[in-house]
Amino acid sequence: MTDDAQGLAGLGDITSKLQAGMTGSAASGTDMGSLLGQMNMTTIMISLLAGLIGSAYLMYGKKTGNLKMALTGIALCVVPYFISNAIALVVSCIAMAAVPFI
């Protein structure tokens, strides 16, 4: 019974942090915004799509023994962590996705 109570208390903490972030309270080290690193939903979705395509490239490259495809897949999974601008992220991901076919 105590495990359930602790789990619910943890959920309440997360909910209060989310609500504090939505109301614009002062940012602290434990604020939910600090976990996302100033990313908006567009950047997160582009990163998710790039990671999905990158993992498909990696699996296909590993299966067929195509090193160029596998390395491009790894790059597509890693690069979105370093680019926070949505336009730059889209351009770089499209360029990287085209590399194995050139």
In angstroms, rounded to a whole number, what is the distance separating the alpha carbons of residues 22 and 32? 10
Residues 32 and 44 occupy one common structural domain: no
Residues 2 and 28 occupy one common structural domain: yes
pLDDT of residue 98 exceeding 70, the answer is yes
In angstroms, rounded to a whole number, what is the distance separating the alpha carbons of residues 83 and 61? 24
Average pLDDT score over the chain: 79
Residues 55 and 66 occupy one common structural domain: yes
In angstroms, rounded to a whole number, what is the distance separating the alpha carbons of residues 85 and 37? 12
89, burial (CB in 10 Å: exposed 0-12, middle 13-18, buried 19+):
buried
From the list 2, 1, 100, the residue with the least C-alpha distance to 53 is 100
In angstroms, rounded to a whole number, what is the distance separating the alpha carbons of residues 50 and 65? 21
Residues 45 and 28 occupy one common structural domain: no
Range of the domain at 55: 39-102
- 27: three-class secondary structure by DSSP: coil
Q: What is the pLDDT of residues 56-94, one digit of tens each?
A: 999 999 999 999 999 999 999 999 988 888 899 999 999
pLDDT of residue 15: 66
Range among 2-6, 28-32, 69-73, 80-84 rated most confident: 69-73
pLDDT of residue 13 exceeding 80, the answer is no
Indicate whether this model's pTM tops 0.85: no
